[in-house]
Structure 1
Amino acid sequence: MTHADAAESVHPYVRKGAAWAWRLLVLLAFGLTVLWLFWHLKTITIPLLLALMGSALLVPTVNFLQRHKIPRSLAVVVVLLTGTAAIVGILTFVVDQFIKGLPDLSAQLTNSIESLKNWAIHSRFHISEDQIGKAGDALVNTIKDNQGRVTSGALATATTVTEIITGAVLTLFTTIFFLYGGKEIWEFVTRIFPTAVRPRVRRAGVLGFGSLIGYVRATVAVALVDAIGIGVGLAAFSVPLALPLASLVFLGAFIPIIGAAISGFVAVFIALITKGAFTAAMILVIVIVVMQVEGHVLQPLIMGHAVQIHALAVVLAIAAGGVLGGIIGALLAVPTVAVLNTAIRALIEPFDADDPYLREGEEEAEVLDPEMVPDGGPSALGAKPGNGVPELGPAPPKD
């Protein structure tokens, strides 16, 4: 029996299944390789993704200032300094307020523990004071037994701090170049693709970045509503640290669905140890109501228009991002999925040859929504020496 006869003897469905199987295995291997490279180059890749998110947040303001006759270089500096100052200010305020309130919180926590201890002793469970003391001693012994791990964790934290500083600097400089000449950088990157598919790839990148802008805008709007709702509730019940807790909710909301919920439960815990069970229960009700409004009103109305991703996909993306990259992974998971979803759909869907997104050079910059890509200003590629932009090569020619 010849090879051709042997192949013909296999059922067509089996042959098609085998063809699909090896192709899927190749795609799986490629995906795992990309994830492996991403993780081992995380000092570079994570700042790059953070810079893309920062650019998506700031580039509409940069384009607005440029349209009002402000030089793009000056607009980038003003917007970047303002945005950085706002983020640093919020973080500094939250940390400072928590540090100032820590002594009072510690005293109130001690009182709460004593109250809980007295309740346990006089409850129907009949827990003796000796049993509580033994439980406390066991906890202390456990901490002593794991002192080595704590020390090694402190050393690891020192290394992490160094990586964070390095990543922050890299993120800042990358954001500057994305804001200053992101369109030209993207055109340069797409030159690695064949001429026949290059316009389609450029269009996919533009639309993907547009979805990222929509996602960031929607996230900021949702975060503001969450922070205001929970913050007003905390202030109404006179819970200490209401403003920093509201700021924490705002920052946490950048991780969709679970971020604001986790920071909201921190507020419930603070209310429990400072104001008692009734106030904590009321704050819990407020947090649940705010989460319901976010999930059933804000997400469909605001986020649904910006990012067309199913809620299950959002949860799975956050879970996968958290497993792979911790908090940063959870933060970047949903916008990454949103961009890939839009870009892949743009790559595979049919398009008109006269599609304005496919025009090259200055013609493309004129017809695109100025808030879709950071256009305008001196070219980040092929710029003349001495203007503060590296000479990475000539501008992409017309194909």
Structure 2
Amino acid sequence: MTSARPNRSEDVSPLVPKALRVSAALSWRVLVIAGAIWLLGWVIGYLGVVVIPVAVALLLAALLAPAVGQLVRWKVPRGLATTVVVVGGVVIVVGVLYGVISAFVSGLPELQSKVADSVNAIQAWLEGPPLKLSHDQFLNLPEKLIGLIKDNQLTITTGALSTAATLGELVTGALLVLFTLIFFLHDGAGIWSFLIRVVPADVRPRVDVAGRRGFSSLVRYVRATAAVAVVDAVGIGIGLGIVGVPLAVPLAALVFLGAFIPIIGAVIAGTVAVLVALVAKSFVSALIVLAIVVAVMQLESHILQPLLLGRAVKLHPLAVILVIASGFTFGGIAGALMSVPVLAVLNSGIRSLLHDQGVDPAEVDPIRSTDTEPGEKQ
């Protein structure tokens, strides 16, 4: 009894154009990859209360790890070095926050008086041509505002409770960041060695090297971003002080924080400074502040970004803009903040996997590494 053989005359593959077969093969593979990415994104979003603090702790570890490494090279025990760096960082952050809040509280009365003057000027402008709004319409505004608050009392109360819950989550997240940061700084190498045990032994050294180079790229990114943020904050802060805009120090601190979201963060913070100058001073002052913000942004875009961030992460500006937009769409502010570091780490790690073969992981120091990117000429 002969076994049944497939009828070759019924094979339709030769009748399907090659371009269609290749497109179909690529399509289902792309769908599988997209599904895996979507599933990963869903898991990350579901565990966002854990993932975001851990990611922030990793960024802080990349910023503080060089200081810990330097103390260890000075024969300071790693535990003591970690304690000194973490405590010092917390003291600096608390001191900066105290200074910013104090400056905000002290400048608030002046801002309130200038806002009142600006409101009166705006009212006078609205009452004049071409709008010619009546004075009675302005007198009814407080009553309308009170009625609006009464009508939406439940919504406002719910929002206040939601804000309280959010503050509780922020405190919990901050404690998780601090706790995770301590372990990253104290035993980051041990944690990484444990994680790569799931990788097959024959490719484990290459994955180890790729991870080290990825973290090295993250260290360079955080250093460069911090330098750019300091220049932006100092430049705009000095300009605000010269113009006489109230709350110059808090606004400069806002610019510093916003600069950690590349390209768009400092622009948004600068826009806030322009609006404050418009409300608190005058239209001319707002134009001067706008010119200062534009000048600082030009300095960042044409000098600081190419020299610092460009050399640090080796990413095209278009890729940075697109990945920030994608991160903001999927993850809000946290997604925009983490998108460029993730892309920088993936870019460096994939280059290492493609080009680094036979490299001893012990030869790659992710903190002190100053070599060129894998695959580039020395």
Provide the TM-score with structure 2 as the length reference: 0.90
Alpha-carbon offset, residue 299 of structure 1 = 0.5
> Aligned AA for 1:89?
G
Are positions 1:350 and 2:346 aligned together?
no
Cα displacement string for residues 257-284 of structure 1 (whole angstroms, at most 9, x for unaligned residues):
1211222222222222332222221111
Of 3, 12, 20, 1:6 maps to 12
Alpha-carbon offset, residue 53 of structure 1 = 0.2
Alpha-carbon offset, residue 137 of structure 1 = 5.2
1:395 aligns with: none
The two structures, once aligned, show a CA RMSD in angstroms of: 2.0
Change (3 A) 1:344 1:370: closer
1:282 aligns with: 288
1:368 aligns with: 364
Cα displacement string for residues 195-254 of structure 1 (whole angstroms, at most 9, x for unaligned residues):
122112111111110110000000011011111111111122222222222222112211
Are positions 1:193 and 2:189 aligned together?
no
**Aligned equivalents of 1:90, 1:73: Cα separation in 2:** 26
1:327 aligns with: 333
Change (3 A) 1:77 1:134: same
2:263 aligns with: 257
Q: How does 1:1-399 map to 2 (within 5 A)?
A: 5-133=11-139, 138-347=144-353, 349-353=354-358, 355-357=359-361, 364=362, 367-369=363-365, 371-372=367-368
> Aligned AA for 2:360?
P
> Aligned AA for 2:336?
A
Change (3 A) 1:101 1:195: same
Identity of aligned residues (%): 47
> Aligned AA for 2:42?
W
Point out where structure 2 has 5 or more consecutive residues left out of the alignment: 1-6, 370-378
**Conservation of the 8 A alpha-carbon contact between 2:110 and 2:246:** no
Instruction: Give the match's secondary structure for 2:263.
Output: coil
Alpha-carbon offset, residue 139 of structure 1 = 5.0
**Conservation of the 8 A alpha-carbon contact between 2:232 and 2:255:** yes
**Aligned equivalents of 1:136, 1:20: Cα separation in 2:** 63
1:389 aligns with: none
2:375 aligns with: none
Provide runs of 4+ in structure 1 moved above 6 Å.
none
> Aligned AA for 2:315?
I
**Conservation of the 8 A alpha-carbon contact between 1:94 and 1:248:** no
**Conservation of the 8 A alpha-carbon contact between 2:233 and 2:253:** yes
Change (3 A) 1:325 1:352: closer
**Aligned equivalents of 1:9, 1:18: Cα separation in 2:** 14
Provide the TM-score with structure 1 as the length reference: 0.85
Change (3 A) 1:303 1:368: same
